[in-house]
Structure 1
Amino acid sequence: MPVNVLVAALLLVAGARLGLTRSELGLCRDRIRAGLRLGGLVGLGAAGVLAVGAVLPVTRPLFDDARTAGIGFGLLAYRGLVRIPLGTALLEEVAFRGVLFAGWRRISSSMVAAFGSSVVFGLWHVRPAIDLLVENDVAADGWPRLAAVGGALAGTALAGLGFCWLRLRSGSLLAPFVAHAAINSLATVAAFIA
């Protein structure tokens, strides 16, 4: 996790050295409240959906995840409050909705930047999707696995578009960061409960 935080910091330094401004990166102080508010609202909505999904018999199996089997509350708290927000969401938001989005937006439109950075975000998640399928023994090799990975890529790219919308709407990188951290952390809690 410290490596991910360091990489996020280095990406911001690289973006600044390339001439990206605080505003372009979504790091203006006057947008902090807007970012926290919008990201928090999305996080609250996700909490409700995930809580219902984790307890309903029809959707509960969707939350089965071998990665949460047998972990205690201490490790769950560490993952949800530290590892996921700082080790995953921070790096990904700085990289994809911060530096990549801002750089792409500078040479094209916001829409092109959103689509481009979201496709790259989806591709970034191909390996984790494969690992998740293998660890949970979900899809056999061949077409079922390819379809599952393709679905994960498409779903993650769509999530990336949503995070770009949060970034644009709030003017702050905090909005997608808070939403991303909340969704991933709460999904881990939902898997633990299920």
Structure 2
Amino acid sequence: MAGRKAGGGGDGAALAGAVAVLAAANVLNNRIAPRLAPLTSAAATGALLALARSRGITWAEIGFRDPARGLRIGGLLASAVAGVYAAGVALPATRRLFRDERALSLSRARVLEETLLQVPFGTVLLEEAGFRGVLPALVARSHGPRTATAVSSALFGLWHVLPAVDMATANPALTRLAAGGTQADPAAAPLAGAPGTGHGTYGTDGTVRPVRSGPRRPSGAETARVVAGSVATTALAGLLFGELRRRGGLAAPALLHLATNSLGYLFARLAPGDPPAAARGRAAVTR
């Protein structure tokens, strides 16, 4: 293609540089300065685009094309995500999966910050430019589009290791589900208000269980399962996003990605809470 430079060692160095930029941004955004993620991600996105352009990769190859088609596809999928989330929050069997402490512990102002600033500019901007734009464009030059999509999707899965470690603690219901338990496992969330004892509570089987002051921290094995599941599912999501990029440029996966993450914060706040402790205790005793 016109404007391309020859591949080889230069492309390999550019690819290694892109991965290094993404790794540094991942640590900064998840461990060192999360609130500064929009600035970090903007700087990292600029560095990635500069790397790609320095190798002669065009804007169209990166994915800046077909904006109208991409917006149509992404808009339809974003609407579908909203519908699925609404159904999930409405159904008792699934609503616990939406109660994520990372969202529930935030003030309304912070939730708005997450949905309107942190997610669009701290997450979606960099991930789409990096994993659906620059990385596949660099890999495709030497190995073709299919390999490029596979490699970028695998790296996208690994990108989610640190967030998954946090999620294991922040979303106990999801952690129990990943560990092979149930969402409403009474051993993991004992019922309060057992009469006649100051040292425990009645579970649904009538036995007395010790009171815990807060959510149980997941074990190492539970965290590992959550991380493995997150890496696998986000890698598969990367394949889907890659196909959307092929069909509608970066706009299509970016809109779906934005809806998935931003609406997740909003629906976590909308998910009904557990029944009051006293009511749960009375229900357990009468069983």
Q: TM-score, normalised by structure 2?
A: 0.64
Q: For residue 55 of structure 2, what is the aligned residue in structure 1?
A: 18
3-state SS of 1:181 partner: helix
Q: Which residue of 2 aligns with 1:191?
A: 268
Task: Measure, in 2, the Cα distance between the counterparts of 1:22 and 1:12.
Answer: 9
Percent sequence identity is: 40
Distance in 2 separating the partners of 1:50 and 1:109: 36
Report the counterpart of residue 55 of structure 1 in structure 2: 90
| Greater fraction helix | 1
Partners of 1:189 and 1:182 lie apart in 2 by 10
Aligned to 2:222: 144
Paired residues for 1:169-188 under 5 Å: 169-170=247-248, 172-188=249-265
Q: Which amino acid aligns with 1:147?
A: R
Distance between the aligned counterparts of 2:52 and 2:157, measured in 1?
21
1:94 aligned partner: 129
Q: Distance in 1 between matches of 2:147 and 2:160?
A: 20
Cα drift, residue 145 of structure 1: 2.1
- Out of 135, 151, 155, the residue aligned to residue 116 of structure 1 is 151
What runs of 5+ residues in structure 2 fail to find an aligned partner?
1-37, 177-217, 272-287
Q: How do residues 11-50 of structure 1 correspond to structure 2 at under 5 angstroms? A: 11-28=48-65, 31-50=66-85
Q: CA deviation at 1:151?
A: 0.6
Q: 1:9-65 deviations in whole A, cap 9, x for unaligned?
A: 22111111111111110113xx11111111111111111101111121111011111
Which of 226, 233, 236 is the equivalent residue of 1:158? Answer: 236
TM-score (norm 1): 0.93
Structure 1: 4+ residue segments shifted above 6 A: none
Between the two structures, name the one with larger relative contact order (CA 8 Å, sep ≥ 6): 1
| Equivalent residues of 2:97, 2:171 under 8 A apart | no
Deviates more, 1:93-102 or 1:70-79: 70-79
**Deviation for aligned residue 1:143:** 2.6
Q: What does residue 277 of structure 2 align with?
A: none
Q: Structure 2 counterpart of 1:8, which letter?
A: T
1:71 equivalenced with 2:148 (yes/no): no
Between stretches 137-146 and 176-185, larger displacement belongs to 137-146
Query: What CA distance in whole angstroms lies between the structure 1 residues aligned with 2:103 and 2:266?
Result: 9
Q: Name the CA shift for 1:111/1:39 in 2 (closer, same or farther; >3 Å).
A: same
Unaligned runs of 5+ in 1: none
**2:259 and 2:46 mapped to 1: Cα distance?**
21
Deviation (angstroms), 1:68:
1.4
